[in-house]
Structure 1
Protein backbone atom coordinates (compact mmCIF):
# COMPACT_ATOMS: atom_id res chain seq x y z
CA UNK A 1 0.00 0.00 0.00
CA UNK A 2 1.34 3.42 -0.86
CA UNK A 3 1.06 6.39 1.45
CA UNK A 4 0.67 10.00 0.47
CA UNK A 5 3.10 12.66 1.57
CA UNK A 6 2.48 16.33 1.84
CA UNK A 7 4.24 19.37 3.16
CA UNK A 8 1.14 21.49 3.49
CA UNK A 9 -2.40 21.15 4.66
CA UNK A 10 -5.62 22.45 3.22
CA UNK A 11 -7.81 23.00 6.23
CA UNK A 12 -6.26 19.70 6.41
CA UNK A 13 -7.05 20.16 2.73
CA UNK A 14 -10.70 19.63 2.77
CA UNK A 15 -13.21 22.25 1.80
CA UNK A 16 -15.30 23.40 4.66
CA UNK A 17 -18.98 22.87 5.01
CA UNK A 18 -19.95 26.46 5.52
CA UNK A 19 -18.39 28.95 7.82
CA UNK A 20 -14.64 28.84 7.48
CA UNK A 21 -12.72 31.30 5.39
CA UNK A 22 -9.35 31.31 3.65
CA UNK A 23 -6.34 31.39 5.93
CA UNK A 24 -4.74 34.27 4.05
CA UNK A 25 -5.97 37.27 2.13
CA UNK A 26 -4.45 36.03 -1.12
CA UNK A 27 -6.20 32.65 -0.84
CA UNK A 28 -9.81 32.63 -2.01
CA UNK A 29 -12.51 30.03 -1.84
CA UNK A 30 -14.70 29.56 -4.87
CA UNK A 31 -17.97 27.66 -4.75
CA UNK A 32 -18.55 24.08 -3.69
CA UNK A 33 -17.41 21.42 -6.12
CA UNK A 34 -18.94 18.20 -4.81
CA UNK A 35 -21.03 15.43 -6.29
CA UNK A 36 -24.49 16.73 -5.37
CA UNK A 37 -27.36 14.21 -5.27
CA UNK A 38 -29.43 15.34 -7.14
CA UNK A 39 -27.63 18.23 -8.86
CA UNK A 40 -28.89 21.63 -7.60
CA UNK A 41 -30.85 23.97 -9.81
CA UNK A 42 -28.77 26.47 -11.85
CA UNK A 43 -29.99 29.34 -9.64
CA UNK A 44 -27.60 28.05 -6.95
CA UNK A 45 -24.56 28.40 -9.23
CA UNK A 46 -22.21 31.35 -8.95
CA UNK A 47 -22.05 33.18 -12.31
CA UNK A 48 -18.32 33.78 -11.76
CA UNK A 49 -16.87 30.38 -10.76
CA UNK A 50 -19.84 28.33 -12.07
CA UNK A 51 -19.84 26.22 -8.89
CA UNK A 52 -22.48 25.95 -6.15
CA UNK A 53 -22.57 29.14 -4.07
CA UNK A 54 -20.25 29.29 -1.04
CA UNK A 55 -21.15 31.95 1.54
CA UNK A 56 -23.69 33.44 -0.92
CA UNK A 57 -23.95 37.20 -1.28
CA UNK A 58 -26.80 38.93 -3.03
CA UNK A 59 -26.39 42.24 -4.82
CA UNK A 60 -28.76 45.19 -4.82
CA UNK A 61 -29.57 44.21 -8.41
CA UNK A 62 -30.69 40.74 -7.22
CA UNK A 63 -27.82 38.51 -8.38
CA UNK A 64 -26.15 35.89 -6.20
CA UNK A 65 -22.42 35.19 -6.05
CA UNK A 66 -19.97 33.35 -3.81
CA UNK A 67 -18.64 35.77 -1.20
CA UNK A 68 -15.02 35.56 -2.34
CA UNK A 69 -15.88 35.53 -6.06
CA UNK A 70 -17.85 38.80 -5.95
CA UNK A 71 -15.35 40.54 -3.66
CA UNK A 72 -12.51 39.61 -6.01
CA UNK A 73 -14.57 40.69 -9.05
CA UNK A 74 -15.34 44.08 -7.49
CA UNK A 75 -11.67 44.66 -6.70
CA UNK A 76 -10.54 43.57 -10.16
CA UNK A 77 -13.23 45.43 -12.13
CA UNK A 78 -14.54 48.93 -12.14
CA UNK A 79 -17.03 48.20 -9.32
CA UNK A 80 -19.68 46.71 -11.59
CA UNK A 81 -21.97 43.69 -11.32
CA UNK A 82 -20.50 40.92 -13.50
CA UNK A 83 -23.99 39.96 -14.72
CA UNK A 84 -25.68 43.23 -15.67
CA UNK A 85 -22.82 45.76 -15.42
CA UNK A 86 -24.72 47.86 -12.86
CA UNK A 87 -22.57 49.96 -10.51
CA UNK A 88 -21.82 47.98 -7.37
CA UNK A 89 -19.74 48.34 -4.20
CA UNK A 90 -19.10 46.02 -1.25
CA UNK A 91 -21.72 47.99 0.68
CA UNK A 92 -24.29 46.85 -1.90
CA UNK A 93 -23.77 43.18 -0.98
CA UNK A 94 -25.58 41.32 1.76
CA UNK A 95 -25.42 37.73 3.02
CA UNK A 96 -28.11 35.51 1.54
CA UNK A 97 -28.70 33.34 4.61
CA UNK A 98 -31.79 31.70 3.12
CA UNK A 99 -29.80 30.41 0.13
CA UNK A 100 -26.94 29.40 2.44
CA UNK A 101 -29.30 27.29 4.61
CA UNK A 102 -30.76 25.63 1.52
CA UNK A 103 -27.32 24.86 0.07
CA UNK A 104 -26.02 23.41 3.35
CA UNK A 105 -29.01 21.02 3.29
CA UNK A 106 -28.25 19.73 -0.22
CA UNK A 107 -27.11 16.11 -0.22
CA UNK A 108 -23.63 15.26 -1.49
CA UNK A 109 -21.59 12.10 -1.86
CA UNK A 110 -18.63 11.90 0.48
CA UNK A 111 -15.55 13.28 -1.32
CA UNK A 112 -13.92 9.92 -0.55
CA UNK A 113 -16.51 8.04 -2.62
CA UNK A 114 -13.92 7.33 -5.33
CA UNK A 115 -12.00 5.41 -2.65
CA UNK A 116 -15.06 3.49 -1.50
CA UNK A 117 -17.06 5.61 0.96
CA UNK A 118 -20.70 5.35 -0.06
CA UNK A 119 -22.05 7.91 2.43
CA UNK A 120 -24.52 10.52 1.16
CA UNK A 121 -25.01 13.39 3.58
CA UNK A 122 -26.08 17.05 3.77
CA UNK A 123 -23.28 19.45 2.80
CA UNK A 124 -23.54 21.12 6.23
CA UNK A 125 -22.59 17.80 7.92
CA UNK A 126 -19.51 17.20 5.75
CA UNK A 127 -16.89 18.28 8.30
CA UNK A 128 -18.44 16.07 10.96
CA UNK A 129 -18.39 13.11 8.57
CA UNK A 130 -14.81 13.78 7.45
CA UNK A 131 -13.79 13.72 11.11
CA UNK A 132 -15.01 10.11 11.24
CA UNK A 133 -14.73 8.82 7.64
CA UNK A 134 -12.34 5.85 7.56
CA UNK A 135 -11.19 6.90 4.08
CA UNK A 136 -10.43 10.55 4.97
CA UNK A 137 -6.77 11.43 4.59
CA UNK A 138 -5.24 12.41 7.91
CA UNK A 139 -1.75 13.59 8.88
CA UNK A 140 0.41 11.22 10.88
CA UNK A 141 0.24 11.97 14.64
CA UNK A 142 4.04 11.53 14.80
CA UNK A 143 4.29 14.58 12.52
CA UNK A 144 6.13 12.77 9.74
CA UNK A 145 5.28 14.03 6.25
CA UNK A 146 2.81 11.21 5.55
CA UNK A 147 -0.91 11.65 5.13
CA UNK A 148 -2.83 8.37 5.08
CA UNK A 149 -6.44 7.20 5.17
CA UNK A 150 -7.77 7.14 8.74
CA UNK A 151 -8.43 3.38 8.51
CA UNK A 152 -4.73 2.75 7.75
CA UNK A 153 -3.28 5.08 10.40
CA UNK A 154 -2.66 2.42 13.08
CA UNK A 155 -0.72 0.28 10.60
CA UNK A 156 1.24 3.32 9.38
CA UNK A 157 2.18 4.44 12.91
CA UNK A 158 3.14 0.93 13.99
CA UNK A 159 4.91 -0.34 10.87
CA UNK A 160 5.73 2.38 8.33
CA UNK A 161 6.24 5.77 9.98
CA UNK A 162 9.84 6.96 9.81
CA UNK A 163 9.36 8.63 13.19
CA UNK A 164 7.94 5.60 15.04
CA UNK A 165 9.83 4.38 18.06
CA UNK A 166 11.55 1.01 17.67
CA UNK A 167 13.06 -0.89 20.55
CA UNK A 168 16.70 -1.86 19.99
CA UNK A 169 17.00 -5.66 20.09
CA UNK A 170 20.34 -5.35 21.91
CA UNK A 171 19.92 -2.65 24.53
CA UNK A 172 16.12 -2.18 24.51
CA UNK A 173 16.48 1.61 23.98
CA UNK A 174 13.64 3.28 22.07
CA UNK A 175 15.01 4.79 18.87
CA UNK A 176 13.31 6.50 15.90
CA UNK A 177 13.10 4.16 12.92
CA UNK A 178 15.18 6.54 10.81
CA UNK A 179 17.92 6.60 13.47
CA UNK A 180 18.21 2.84 14.04
CA UNK A 181 21.19 2.30 11.71
CA UNK A 182 23.12 5.08 13.43
CA UNK A 183 22.13 3.67 16.83
CA UNK A 184 23.45 0.22 15.89
CA UNK A 185 26.89 1.79 15.28
CA UNK A 186 27.00 3.20 18.80
CA UNK A 187 24.87 0.70 20.74
CA UNK A 188 26.91 -0.49 23.73
CA UNK A 189 25.50 -4.04 23.45
CA UNK A 190 25.67 -4.40 19.64
CA UNK A 191 29.25 -5.61 19.52
Structure 2
Protein backbone atom coordinates (compact mmCIF):
# COMPACT_ATOMS: atom_id res chain seq x y z
CA UNK A 1 0.00 0.00 0.00
CA UNK A 2 1.23 3.48 -0.78
CA UNK A 3 2.42 5.60 2.09
CA UNK A 4 1.24 8.75 0.40
CA UNK A 5 -1.15 9.54 -2.40
CA UNK A 6 -1.29 12.13 -5.11
CA UNK A 7 -4.09 13.61 -7.16
CA UNK A 8 -4.50 12.25 -10.71
CA UNK A 9 -5.07 14.91 -13.34
CA UNK A 10 -7.91 14.69 -15.85
CA UNK A 11 -5.30 14.51 -18.62
CA UNK A 12 -4.62 10.93 -17.55
CA UNK A 13 -8.19 9.83 -18.22
CA UNK A 14 -9.32 7.89 -21.26
CA UNK A 15 -11.62 10.59 -22.72
CA UNK A 16 -10.78 13.74 -24.61
CA UNK A 17 -12.05 16.78 -22.67
CA UNK A 18 -14.42 18.99 -24.68
CA UNK A 19 -15.61 21.24 -21.83
CA UNK A 20 -13.75 23.63 -19.53
CA UNK A 21 -16.41 23.45 -16.83
CA UNK A 22 -14.49 22.07 -13.82
CA UNK A 23 -17.62 21.25 -11.84
CA UNK A 24 -19.40 19.49 -14.72
CA UNK A 25 -16.69 18.27 -17.12
CA UNK A 26 -17.80 16.85 -20.45
CA UNK A 27 -15.75 14.35 -22.47
CA UNK A 28 -15.87 13.34 -26.10
CA UNK A 29 -14.12 10.35 -27.72
CA UNK A 30 -11.23 8.13 -26.68
CA UNK A 31 -7.79 9.64 -27.09
CA UNK A 32 -6.44 8.95 -30.58
CA UNK A 33 -2.98 8.08 -29.26
CA UNK A 34 -4.43 5.00 -27.56
CA UNK A 35 -4.85 3.24 -30.91
CA UNK A 36 -2.59 0.20 -31.20
CA UNK A 37 -2.14 0.69 -34.97
CA UNK A 38 -1.59 3.99 -36.63
CA UNK A 39 -4.10 5.34 -39.10
CA UNK A 40 -1.89 5.36 -42.16
CA UNK A 41 -3.89 2.61 -43.81
CA UNK A 42 -7.27 3.76 -42.46
CA UNK A 43 -9.41 6.71 -43.43
CA UNK A 44 -9.02 8.90 -40.34
CA UNK A 45 -12.35 10.68 -40.88
CA UNK A 46 -14.18 7.41 -40.15
CA UNK A 47 -12.25 6.77 -36.90
CA UNK A 48 -11.46 10.18 -35.39
CA UNK A 49 -14.05 12.75 -34.28
CA UNK A 50 -13.73 15.96 -36.28
CA UNK A 51 -14.60 17.93 -33.14
CA UNK A 52 -12.69 16.47 -30.16
CA UNK A 53 -10.10 14.61 -32.29
CA UNK A 54 -10.60 11.45 -30.24
CA UNK A 55 -11.63 7.99 -31.41
CA UNK A 56 -15.33 8.08 -32.25
CA UNK A 57 -17.82 6.98 -29.60
CA UNK A 58 -21.55 6.78 -30.35
CA UNK A 59 -20.79 7.95 -33.87
CA UNK A 60 -23.03 10.63 -35.40
CA UNK A 61 -22.80 11.93 -38.96
CA UNK A 62 -23.19 15.70 -39.44
CA UNK A 63 -22.61 18.10 -42.33
CA UNK A 64 -19.25 18.90 -40.71
CA UNK A 65 -18.17 15.27 -40.54
CA UNK A 66 -18.23 12.36 -38.11
CA UNK A 67 -18.62 13.31 -34.44
CA UNK A 68 -18.94 11.57 -31.11
CA UNK A 69 -22.50 11.81 -29.80
CA UNK A 70 -21.23 13.97 -26.88
CA UNK A 71 -19.66 16.42 -29.33
CA UNK A 72 -22.81 17.11 -31.35
CA UNK A 73 -24.15 20.64 -30.87
CA UNK A 74 -27.58 22.08 -31.42
CA UNK A 75 -26.62 23.81 -34.65
CA UNK A 76 -25.21 20.62 -36.28
CA UNK A 77 -27.35 19.78 -39.30
CA UNK A 78 -28.18 16.45 -40.96
CA UNK A 79 -27.27 14.64 -37.76
CA UNK A 80 -27.88 10.87 -38.00
CA UNK A 81 -26.61 7.92 -36.05
CA UNK A 82 -24.07 5.58 -37.66
CA UNK A 83 -23.38 1.99 -36.70
CA UNK A 84 -19.73 1.54 -35.73
CA UNK A 85 -18.99 -2.19 -35.37
CA UNK A 86 -15.73 -1.74 -37.28
CA UNK A 87 -14.57 0.97 -34.89
CA UNK A 88 -15.53 -1.09 -31.85
CA UNK A 89 -13.14 -3.88 -32.91
CA UNK A 90 -10.12 -1.57 -33.16
CA UNK A 91 -7.59 -2.34 -30.43
CA UNK A 92 -6.37 0.33 -28.03
CA UNK A 93 -3.78 0.42 -25.29
CA UNK A 94 -4.97 0.85 -21.71
CA UNK A 95 -4.70 4.58 -20.98
CA UNK A 96 -2.68 3.68 -17.88
CA UNK A 97 0.09 2.07 -19.96
CA UNK A 98 2.49 4.78 -18.86
CA UNK A 99 1.77 3.76 -15.28
CA UNK A 100 2.50 0.12 -15.87
CA UNK A 101 -0.62 -1.52 -17.35
CA UNK A 102 0.23 -3.60 -20.46
CA UNK A 103 -3.30 -4.65 -21.41
CA UNK A 104 -4.74 -4.19 -24.89
CA UNK A 105 -8.48 -4.07 -25.38
CA UNK A 106 -10.93 -3.28 -28.13
CA UNK A 107 -12.79 -0.02 -28.00
CA UNK A 108 -15.93 -1.93 -27.06
CA UNK A 109 -14.27 -3.70 -24.09
CA UNK A 110 -11.88 -1.05 -22.76
CA UNK A 111 -14.33 0.37 -20.25
CA UNK A 112 -14.95 -3.08 -18.74
CA UNK A 113 -11.21 -3.37 -18.25
CA UNK A 114 -10.91 0.06 -16.70
CA UNK A 115 -13.53 -0.81 -14.10
CA UNK A 116 -10.98 -3.23 -12.61
CA UNK A 117 -7.66 -1.77 -13.77
CA UNK A 118 -5.36 -1.33 -10.79
CA UNK A 119 -3.70 1.64 -12.51
CA UNK A 120 -6.83 3.56 -13.47
CA UNK A 121 -7.82 6.40 -11.10
CA UNK A 122 -11.07 6.39 -9.15
CA UNK A 123 -12.87 9.16 -7.29
CA UNK A 124 -12.46 9.54 -3.55
CA UNK A 125 -15.50 8.03 -1.82
CA UNK A 126 -15.67 11.04 0.54
CA UNK A 127 -16.30 13.40 -2.38
CA UNK A 128 -13.18 15.48 -2.01
CA UNK A 129 -13.00 15.65 -5.84
CA UNK A 130 -9.57 13.97 -6.01
CA UNK A 131 -8.82 11.08 -8.37
CA UNK A 132 -6.68 8.27 -6.91
CA UNK A 133 -5.24 4.95 -7.89
CA UNK A 134 -7.28 2.05 -6.42
CA UNK A 135 -4.54 0.91 -4.03
CA UNK A 136 -4.20 4.46 -2.67
CA UNK A 137 -7.86 4.96 -1.78
CA UNK A 138 -7.79 3.33 1.67
CA UNK A 139 -4.75 5.28 2.83
CA UNK A 140 -6.20 8.51 1.49
CA UNK A 141 -9.64 8.03 3.09
CA UNK A 142 -8.22 7.03 6.47
CA UNK A 143 -5.31 9.45 6.83
CA UNK A 144 -5.27 12.19 4.19
CA UNK A 145 -8.70 13.24 2.90
CA UNK A 146 -9.82 16.61 4.25
CA UNK A 147 -13.41 15.37 4.20
CA UNK A 148 -12.77 12.57 6.70
CA UNK A 149 -14.41 12.98 10.09
CA UNK A 150 -12.27 13.39 13.20
CA UNK A 151 -13.04 14.19 16.80
CA UNK A 152 -11.90 17.42 18.40
CA UNK A 153 -9.12 16.76 20.91
CA UNK A 154 -10.74 19.12 23.40
CA UNK A 155 -14.52 18.69 23.08
CA UNK A 156 -16.98 16.03 21.92
CA UNK A 157 -17.59 17.51 18.44
CA UNK A 158 -16.91 15.44 15.31
CA UNK A 159 -16.23 17.37 12.12
CA UNK A 160 -14.33 17.35 8.84
CA UNK A 161 -10.55 17.82 8.93
CA UNK A 162 -10.98 20.81 6.58
CA UNK A 163 -13.17 22.52 9.21
CA UNK A 164 -10.97 21.75 12.23
CA UNK A 165 -8.82 24.91 12.14
CA UNK A 166 -11.89 27.16 12.21
CA UNK A 167 -13.46 25.04 14.96
CA UNK A 168 -10.38 25.35 17.17
CA UNK A 169 -10.66 29.14 16.95
CA UNK A 170 -14.09 28.89 18.60
CA UNK A 171 -13.98 25.66 20.65
CA UNK A 172 -15.02 26.52 24.20
CA UNK A 173 -12.85 23.71 25.64
CA UNK A 174 -9.68 24.71 23.77
CA UNK A 175 -6.91 26.00 26.08
CA UNK A 176 -6.09 29.67 25.68
CA UNK A 177 -3.71 32.12 27.31
CA UNK A 178 -4.80 35.09 29.38
CA UNK A 179 -4.03 38.21 27.28
CA UNK A 180 -2.73 39.90 30.44
CA UNK A 181 0.00 37.24 30.85
CA UNK A 182 -0.96 36.53 34.44
CA UNK A 183 -0.29 33.33 36.38
CA UNK A 184 -1.62 30.72 35.97
CA UNK A 185 -1.91 31.76 32.35
CA UNK A 186 -3.68 28.85 30.61
CA UNK A 187 -7.38 28.01 30.85
CA UNK A 188 -10.32 26.84 28.76
CA UNK A 189 -11.72 29.40 26.32
CA UNK A 190 -15.13 29.30 28.06
CA UNK A 191 -13.44 30.35 31.33
CA UNK A 192 -11.54 33.31 29.89
CA UNK A 193 -14.28 35.96 30.17
CA UNK A 194 -15.03 35.05 33.78
CA UNK A 195 -11.31 35.05 34.55
CA UNK A 196 -10.73 38.53 33.11
CA UNK A 197 -13.88 40.05 34.59
CA UNK A 198 -13.56 38.57 38.08
CA UNK A 199 -10.18 36.99 38.77
CA UNK A 200 -7.23 38.21 36.70
CA UNK A 201 -4.97 40.32 38.93
CA UNK A 202 -3.46 42.12 35.93
CA UNK A 203 -6.73 43.02 34.22
CA UNK A 204 -7.41 46.78 34.14
CA UNK A 205 -10.61 47.60 36.04
CA UNK A 206 -12.57 50.69 37.02
CA UNK A 207 -12.53 51.93 40.56
CA UNK A 208 -15.58 50.66 42.51
CA UNK A 209 -16.48 54.32 42.98
CA UNK A 210 -16.55 55.03 39.23
CA UNK A 211 -20.35 55.45 39.36
CA UNK A 212 -19.75 58.24 41.90
CA UNK A 213 -17.21 60.07 39.78
CA UNK A 214 -13.78 58.42 40.30
CA UNK A 215 -12.20 57.96 36.86
CA UNK A 216 -9.14 55.91 37.89
CA UNK A 217 -8.43 52.65 35.99
CA UNK A 218 -5.78 50.29 37.38
CA UNK A 219 -4.75 46.64 37.37
CA UNK A 220 -6.93 44.66 39.79
CA UNK A 221 -3.98 43.93 42.10
CA UNK A 222 -3.28 47.69 42.42
CA UNK A 223 -6.87 48.77 43.03
CA UNK A 224 -6.98 47.79 46.73
CA UNK A 225 -4.15 50.20 47.52
CA UNK A 226 -5.87 52.93 45.49
CA UNK A 227 -9.12 52.49 47.42
CA UNK A 228 -7.27 52.65 50.76
CA UNK A 229 -5.20 55.72 49.88
CA UNK A 230 -8.10 57.73 48.44
CA UNK A 231 -10.82 56.95 50.98
CA UNK A 232 -11.63 60.57 51.76
CA UNK A 233 -11.87 61.51 48.05
CA UNK A 234 -14.14 58.54 47.42
CA UNK A 235 -16.36 59.55 50.36
CA UNK A 236 -16.81 63.02 48.88
CA UNK A 237 -17.67 61.52 45.48
CA UNK A 238 -20.16 59.16 47.10
CA UNK A 239 -21.88 61.93 49.07
CA UNK A 240 -22.25 64.01 45.92
CA UNK A 241 -23.65 61.00 44.08
CA UNK A 242 -26.22 60.32 46.81
CA UNK A 243 -27.43 63.93 46.76
CA UNK A 244 -27.91 63.85 43.00
CA UNK A 245 -29.70 60.53 43.28
CA UNK A 246 -32.05 61.79 45.99
CA UNK A 247 -32.80 64.93 43.98
CA UNK A 248 -33.68 62.90 40.91
CA UNK A 249 -35.91 60.51 42.84
CA UNK A 250 -37.78 63.37 44.49
CA UNK A 251 -38.43 64.99 41.10
CA UNK A 252 -39.60 61.83 39.37
CA UNK A 253 -41.32 59.47 41.79
CA UNK A 254 -44.76 60.01 40.24
CA UNK A 255 -44.13 58.67 36.75
CA UNK A 256 -47.13 60.54 35.32
CA UNK A 257 -47.10 63.41 32.85
CA UNK A 258 -49.93 65.31 31.14
CA UNK A 259 -49.59 66.55 27.58
CA UNK A 260 -51.98 69.22 26.27
CA UNK A 261 -52.55 69.74 22.54
CA UNK A 262 -53.83 73.22 21.73
CA UNK A 263 -55.51 74.36 18.50
CA UNK A 264 -56.53 70.77 18.07
CA UNK A 265 -59.18 71.20 15.38
CA UNK A 266 -56.82 72.94 12.95
CA UNK A 267 -54.23 70.20 13.50
CA UNK A 268 -56.81 67.48 12.84
CA UNK A 269 -58.13 69.15 9.69
CA UNK A 270 -54.69 69.84 8.29
CA UNK A 271 -54.29 66.23 7.16
CA UNK A 272 -50.54 66.36 7.76
CA UNK A 273 -48.91 64.11 10.33
CA UNK A 274 -48.19 66.08 13.51
CA UNK A 275 -45.72 64.55 15.95
CA UNK A 276 -45.44 65.89 19.50
CA UNK A 277 -42.67 64.73 21.84
CA UNK A 278 -42.61 65.42 25.57
CA UNK A 279 -39.58 66.64 27.44
CA UNK A 280 -37.68 63.55 28.70
CA UNK A 281 -38.65 62.62 32.25
CA UNK A 282 -37.31 60.21 34.86
CA UNK A 283 -39.36 57.41 36.39
CA UNK A 284 -37.50 55.53 39.14
CA UNK A 285 -34.28 56.68 37.42
CA UNK A 286 -35.36 55.33 34.01
CA UNK A 287 -35.39 58.19 31.49
CA UNK A 288 -38.50 58.14 29.30
CA UNK A 289 -40.19 60.20 26.62
CA UNK A 290 -43.83 60.28 25.47
CA UNK A 291 -44.86 60.73 21.84
CA UNK A 292 -48.26 61.70 20.36
CA UNK A 293 -48.96 61.49 16.64
CA UNK A 294 -52.00 63.14 15.01
CA UNK A 295 -53.05 61.80 11.61
CA UNK A 296 -50.80 58.86 12.37
CA UNK A 297 -49.45 57.44 9.10
CA UNK A 298 -51.79 59.74 7.14
CA UNK A 299 -54.86 58.18 8.75
CA UNK A 300 -57.40 60.09 10.81
CA UNK A 301 -56.33 58.53 14.07
CA UNK A 302 -54.25 59.48 17.10
CA UNK A 303 -51.26 57.31 18.08
CA UNK A 304 -49.55 57.35 21.50
CA UNK A 305 -46.23 55.84 22.57
CA UNK A 306 -43.57 55.85 25.28
CA UNK A 307 -39.90 55.04 24.73
CA UNK A 308 -36.90 54.68 27.05
CA UNK A 309 -33.99 56.98 26.17
CA UNK A 310 -30.39 57.28 27.27
CA UNK A 311 -30.19 58.66 30.81
CA UNK A 312 -27.80 59.63 33.54
CA UNK A 313 -28.36 56.54 35.69
CA UNK A 314 -28.37 53.80 33.05
CA UNK A 315 -25.15 52.17 34.33
CA UNK A 316 -26.69 51.68 37.78
CA UNK A 317 -30.08 50.37 36.64
CA UNK A 318 -31.17 46.81 35.98
CA UNK A 319 -31.91 46.08 32.31
CA UNK A 320 -33.92 45.33 30.28
CA UNK A 321 -36.81 47.59 31.24
CA UNK A 322 -40.07 45.88 32.27
CA UNK A 323 -43.23 47.75 33.11
CA UNK A 324 -46.62 49.11 32.08
CA UNK A 325 -47.59 52.20 30.09
CA UNK A 326 -51.08 53.60 30.67
CA UNK A 327 -52.55 56.23 28.33
CA UNK A 328 -55.64 58.23 29.35
CA UNK A 329 -57.55 60.70 27.15
CA UNK A 330 -59.28 63.12 29.50
CA UNK A 331 -62.98 63.91 29.02
CA UNK A 332 -63.17 67.44 30.39
CA UNK A 333 -66.90 67.22 31.22
CA UNK A 334 -67.27 63.66 32.44
CA UNK A 335 -64.22 62.37 34.21
CA UNK A 336 -65.63 58.86 34.49
CA UNK A 337 -65.78 58.70 30.69
CA UNK A 338 -62.02 59.01 30.18
CA UNK A 339 -60.62 56.69 27.52
CA UNK A 340 -57.92 54.52 29.10
CA UNK A 341 -55.70 51.86 27.54
CA UNK A 342 -52.59 50.11 28.89
CA UNK A 343 -49.77 48.13 27.34
CA UNK A 344 -47.28 45.84 29.04
CA UNK A 345 -43.58 45.96 28.18
CA UNK A 346 -41.33 42.91 28.56
CA UNK A 347 -37.78 43.94 27.70
CA UNK A 348 -36.63 40.32 27.45
CA UNK A 349 -38.75 40.06 24.29
CA UNK A 350 -38.18 43.58 22.93
CA UNK A 351 -34.64 44.81 22.22
CA UNK A 352 -35.93 48.39 22.11
CA UNK A 353 -36.12 48.30 25.91
CA UNK A 354 -32.62 47.05 26.58
CA UNK A 355 -30.04 49.49 27.92
CA UNK A 356 -30.27 52.56 25.62
CA UNK A 357 -27.42 53.67 23.38
CA UNK A 358 -26.97 56.70 21.13
CA UNK A 359 -29.54 55.41 18.63
CA UNK A 360 -33.09 56.52 19.46
CA UNK A 361 -35.32 53.45 19.58
CA UNK A 362 -39.04 53.29 18.70
CA UNK A 363 -41.48 53.29 21.57
CA UNK A 364 -44.34 51.06 22.64
CA UNK A 365 -47.99 52.04 22.71
CA UNK A 366 -50.94 52.21 20.32
CA UNK A 367 -50.80 53.12 16.63
CA UNK A 368 -54.58 53.62 16.80
CA UNK A 369 -55.46 54.99 20.21
CA UNK A 370 -58.53 56.98 19.12
CA UNK A 371 -60.11 58.18 15.90
CA UNK A 372 -60.64 61.88 15.15
CA UNK A 373 -64.41 61.30 15.16
CA UNK A 374 -64.29 59.86 18.67
CA UNK A 375 -62.28 62.83 19.92
CA UNK A 376 -64.91 65.23 18.57
CA UNK A 377 -68.07 63.30 19.44
CA UNK A 378 -67.13 62.46 23.01
CA UNK A 379 -66.21 66.06 23.80
CA UNK A 380 -62.62 65.23 24.59
CA UNK A 381 -61.56 68.38 22.75
CA UNK A 382 -63.53 70.92 24.73
CA UNK A 383 -62.05 74.37 24.30
CA UNK A 384 -60.22 73.15 21.16
CA UNK A 385 -57.57 71.34 23.19
CA UNK A 386 -56.90 67.76 24.17
CA UNK A 387 -55.42 66.41 27.40
CA UNK A 388 -53.55 63.12 27.44
CA UNK A 389 -52.18 61.62 30.65
CA UNK A 390 -49.35 59.11 30.37
CA UNK A 391 -48.32 56.95 33.31
CA UNK A 392 -45.12 54.84 33.31
CA UNK A 393 -44.86 52.10 35.95
CA UNK A 394 -41.61 50.08 36.02
CA UNK A 395 -42.05 46.64 37.56
CA UNK A 396 -38.66 46.82 39.22
CA UNK A 397 -36.42 49.65 40.40
CA UNK A 398 -33.57 47.37 41.39
CA UNK A 399 -30.12 48.88 40.93
CA UNK A 400 -27.05 46.85 40.05
Q: TM-score, normalised by structure 1?
A: 0.60
8 Å CA contact retained: 1:163, 1:178: yes
Partner of 1:154: 138
Partner of 1:38: 37
8 Å CA contact retained: 2:93, 2:102: yes
Structure 2, unaligned runs of 5 or more? 176-187, 189-400
Render the CA deviation track for 1:111-166: whole Å, top value 9, x for unaligned. Answer: 11111122211111122222222222222111113222222111111111001112
Deviates more, 1:122-131 or 1:154-163: 122-131
Distance 2:29 2:106 in 1: 19
Answering whether residue 119 of structure 2 is matched by residue 135 of structure 1, we say yes
Partner of 1:176: 160
By relative contact order (CA 8 Å, sep 6+), the higher-ranking structure is: 1
Deviates more, 1:107-116 or 1:166-175: 166-175
Aligned positions, number: 159
1:124 aligned counterpart, secondary structure:
coil
Render the CA deviation track for 1:26-51: whole Å, top value 9, x for unaligned. Answer: x7836752422233542244494665
Equivalences for residues 12-161 of structure 1 within 5 A: 14-15=14-15, 29=28, 32-40=31-39, 41-43=41-43, 44-46=46-48, 48=50, 52-57=55-60, 65-66=66-67, 75=76, 90=78, 94-97=80-83, 100-161=84-145
Higher Rg of the two aligned structures: 2
8 Å CA contact retained: 1:34, 1:111: no
Distance 1:183 1:31 in 2: 45
1:128 aligned counterpart, secondary structure:
helix
Distance 1:177 1:153 in 2: 17
Partner of 2:6: 3
Distance 2:154 2:96 in 1: 44
Distance 1:133 1:118 in 2: 11
Distance 1:59-1:66 versus aligned 2 partners, 3 A rule: closer
In terms of fraction of residues, the more strand-rich structure is: 2
8 Å CA contact retained: 2:7, 2:130: yes
Q: TM-score, normalised by structure 2?
A: 0.32
8 Å CA contact retained: 1:5, 1:145: no
8 Å CA contact retained: 1:32, 1:53: no
8 Å CA contact retained: 2:14, 2:30: no
Partner of 1:86: none
